[in-house]
Amino acid sequence: GAGVSQSPSNKVTEKGKDVELRCDPISGHTALYWYRQRLGQGLEFLIYFQGNSAPDKSGLPSDRFSAERTGESVSTLTIQRTQQEDSAVYLCASSLPGGVFGGVYEQFFGPGTRLTVL
Amino acid sequence: AQSVTQLDSQVPVFEEAPVELRCNYSSSVSVYLFWYVQYPNQGLQLLLKYLSGSTLVKGINGFEAEFNKSQTSFHLRKPSVHISDTAEYFCAVSPLERDDKIIFGKGTRLHILP
């Protein structure tokens, strides 16, 4: 597609339920990132994928959070037993590989999924 | 570890006036520096980045930023703002040896007053 897409755009759930957030990166972008943006806060790094491996999971806030990626395409962020503090906008970004793979490439962001936990 | 401080959470500016959005960072290693912009109801997009070379970096929409290593700052400027510049602006840093992990500031909301 033309850009990074995320679904759903909005998700309202009850405390204790599980949710799945989806990210479709730009075709050919091997690197994929998940961030969380709480109201009035900056972007909080959650996890980074290079292909379908995740060399950096250090940002996942608890074991209720997990993420998977199929090949070099779709990624799913799963939050189990949601809590009210999980309410935030979850942003996905993709890029060509940077760092040890050469270069510093721009991250392209999706529009985000706004999660509200009641 | 790296950190980014954006000193102003909101900046009101009259249309056609100049603006400066401040960003300071701390890092024990050399870093790349970025400014991203988030227009209302849209995703973030890159405004400009500093990797090396000239400390004055020009970006899209007439914005520029200057890297000051001694002051560990990367302030964003525009000589004359327009109503369309209303957005949230995020400063970010990434360590050279591990540029995949970008640390973002909390953002500065730019309000353009008519």
> pLDDT of B44-63, one tens digit each?
889 999 988 889 999 999 99
CB distance B96 to B28 below 8 Å: no
* Integer angstrom CA distances of residue B85 from A51, B50, B95: 35, 21, 29
Closest of A116, A117, A118 to residue A10, by C-alpha: A116
pLDDT of residue A31: 86
Taking CA–CA distances from A46, the nearest residue in chain B reads B101
Buried b (16+ CB within 10 A) or exposed e, A8-18: eeebebeeeee
Burial of A41 (0-12, 13-18, 19+ CB in 10 A): middle
Closest of B3, B34, B8, B32 to residue B19, by C-alpha: B8
Measured between beta carbons, the chain B residues lying within 8 angstroms of A88 are none
pLDDT band for position B94 (cuts 50, 70, 90): confident
Give the confidence band of B35 by pLDDT, cuts at 50, 70, 90: very high
CA distances from B64 to A20, A38, A40, B34, B67 (A): 39, 28, 25, 11, 10
Inter-chain touch A40–B106, beta carbons under 8 Å = yes
- Statement: residue B97 has pLDDT above 70: no
Using a pLDDT cut of 70, give the percent of chain B over it: 96
Q: Tell me the two tokens of residue A56.
A: 């950096």
C-beta atoms of B106 and A41 within 8 A? yes
The closest of A64, A90, A75 to A11, measured between CA atoms, is: A90
pLDDT at A1: 52
Amino acid at residue number B40: P
Cβ neighbours of residue A15 closer than 8 Å, sequence gap 6 or more: A82, A83, A84, A117, A118
On the question of pLDDT at A90 being above 80, the answer is: yes
CB contact under 8 A, B100 and A40: no
pLDDT score for A54: 83
Distance of residue B80 Cα from the nearest chain A Cα, in angstroms: 26
Strands, E, within chain A: which ranges?
Answer: 5-7, 10-13, 19-24, 31-37, 43-50, 53-56, 65-69, 75-79, 88-95, 108-109, 113-117
Cα of B77 to nearest chain A Cα, Å: 20
| Residue A102 confidence (pLDDT) | 47
CA distance A47 to A62: 12
What's residue A39's pLDDT? 83
Q: Flag whether pLDDT at A24 surpasses 50.
A: yes
Mean pLDDT computed over every residue of chain B? 90
Q: What is the pLDDT of residues A53-81, one digit of tens each?
A: 887 788 899 999 999 998 889 999 999 99
Nearest CA in chain B to A31: B100
The pLDDT of residue B110 is above 90: yes
pLDDT higher than 50, residue A101: no
- Give the C-alpha distances (Å, rounded to integers) separating B60 from A90, A110, B47, B77, B97: 26, 19, 6, 12, 27
pLDDT number for residue A112: 94
CA distance B101 to A76: 19
Report the residue from A50, A93, A104 with minimal CB separation from B99: A104
Compute the nearest-CA separation of A62 from chain B (Å). 19
